[in-house]
Amino acid sequence: MNSPTLSAQCFVKTLDGVELNCIRAGPSNGRNVLFIAGWRQPVASWKKQVAAFSQKGFRVTAFDYRGHGDSAKPSFGYTIARFGADLRDVLVQLDLKSVSVVAHSMGSSVVWSFWSNFPEERHRLERFAIVDQSTVLVRNPTWNQSERETFAAALFSPAGVYEFCAVLPTKLEEFIRSMFSADVSEDDFTWFLTENKKMSNENAATLLINHAFADWRNTIPLVDIPTLVIAGEASLNKASSIVWAATQMPNARQRTFSKEERGSHFMFWENPGLFNSVLEEFIDAPVDYARSQSVRR
């Protein structure tokens, strides 16, 4: 019989002393699912998944990054490497094992950083769902036409990253709106915008610059756990560029949400029923344990 369903807030203190807000829900002996948000997004962006999966008997965990949502807001540590270390602290301190990690947008980069820098902790992750994140965000001006097409989800020119961040306060609303379908409700959009503003523009710009210039194309072939790459036809990120990652990983499949399926950057918010069904099918699929023991150690 399952343990009683629990839903509680807790805090994890990182090794550099920052308290991260965590939400835990579902039976304590349920299979672990960890939801990780995108740039500037709160833990509550996953509330439709937290509710659905905890009610189905999964042990669900989600957390706010430093500077985000209800976590502490220090003046330091706004790099993907530091966020990857924070993820390691969450996994270790909560002793999460056999985890299906579901990462939206920048959250995928956080997982890639964790995978690259903490090989001794990789064994904690059993599956990985990448939700609408490109492996490279800055266009290389020397790319040929084929490369430009393959990596069309690279949103910024090198100078464009800094130019955007310099005017971030005036561009935030437009940028967040571009992540949703045109008919998203004003109540939903206003809620997201308010939550985004819990992070300072200064810290958000510092993080975005660091995030944008990371290039994960040499990292993703090392991720050998079962992986689902999710893209959206109506996303600001070109779907063909997102799902390219699945062709570079040894144990990956892909799923593209169509425009009719509300395949925006936030398809999990706009079409939670379908998204949750796709995700649950992936989590329930048999795991291929034919992995290198040197990687698992």
What are 13-38's pLDDT values in tens digits?
999 999 999 999 999 999 999 999 99
Kindly state the tokens that stand for 271. 């079409």
Model-level pTM?
0.93
Q: Write the CATH number for 10.
A: 3.40.50.1820
Give the residue numbers spanning the domain of 40. Answer: 5-296
Q: Which pLDDT belongs to residue 296?
A: 31
Number of domains in the chain: 1
pLDDT band at 286 (very low <50, low <70, confident <90, very high): confident
| Matching residue, tokens 């948000």 | 37
Q: Which pLDDT belongs to residue 294?
A: 30
Taking CA atoms, 236 is separated from 168, 180, 273, 279, in Å, by: 18, 9, 22, 22
Dump the DSSP string for 118-178.
-GGGGGGEEEEEEES--SB-B--TT--HHHHHHTTT--B-HHHHHHHHHTHHHHHHHHHHT
Q: Which pLDDT belongs to residue 297?
A: 25
Q: Percent of the chain scored above 90 by pLDDT?
A: 92
Q: Which pLDDT belongs to residue 152?
A: 87
Q: Which pLDDT belongs to residue 288?
A: 60
Taking CA atoms, 151 is separated from 23, 30, 175, 274, 281, in Å, by: 35, 38, 20, 27, 28
